[in-house]
Amino acid sequence: MEGKCTGVDPPLRVRPIMLPVKTTSVEAGSCLDSWRARFNQAQRHAQGVAELSYILLGVWDLLCTLPLKMYSCKLVFKLCRVVLLPFCINMLPIIQAVPFGVVCFYWLINGREAPECPASGPDSVLLKFDNPQFYLCMFAGGLDLRGVPSMIPLVFFVLASFWMIKDTFLEPVSENSKTRTVWQSEDGDIRPILGSKKLTLFGMVVIDVLLFLPIVMPIYGGLAFLRAYVNVLVRGNHFKFVSASKGKAPFHLQVEKEEVITNV
Measured CA to CA, the distance from residue 127 to residue 130 in angstroms comes to 9
Residue 210 φ/ψ, nearest 5 degrees: -75, -35
From the CB of residue 87, how many other CB atoms can be counted at a distance below 10 Å?
A: 15
- In the prediction, which pLDDT does 258 show? 38
Residues 6+ apart with CB under 8 A from 257: 182
Quick one: how far is CA 220 from the chain centroid?
Answer: 13
**Mean pLDDT, all residues of the chain:** 75
User: Residue 7: what pLDDT?
Assistant: 57
**In this predicted model, what pLDDT tens digit does every residue of 173-184 receive, in sequence order?**
655 555 556 666
- Confidence (pLDDT) at 130: 80
Query: Is 225's pLDDT higher than 70?
Result: yes
Q: For the segment 113-134, what is each residue's pLDDT rounded down to a tens digit?
A: 677 776 666 667 667 778 777 7
> In this model, does residue 255 exceed pLDDT 50?
no
Predicted confidence (pLDDT) at residue 221 exceeds the cutoff of 70: yes
Q: How many other β-carbons are positioned within 10 Å of the β-carbon of residue 105?
A: 11
What's residue 174's pLDDT? Answer: 57
Is residue 93 pLDDT above 50, yes or no?
A: yes
CA nearest 184: which of 107, 247, 264, 119? 264
Confirm if 145 and 151 have CB atoms less than 8 A apart.
no
Rounded percentage of the chain residues whose pLDDT exceeds 90: 2
Q: pLDDT category, 264, cuts 50, 70, 90?
A: very low
Interval 133-173: pLDDT, tens: 777 776 655 555 455 556 777 788 899 989 888 887 777 66
DSSP state of 119: S
Cross-strand partners of 246: 26
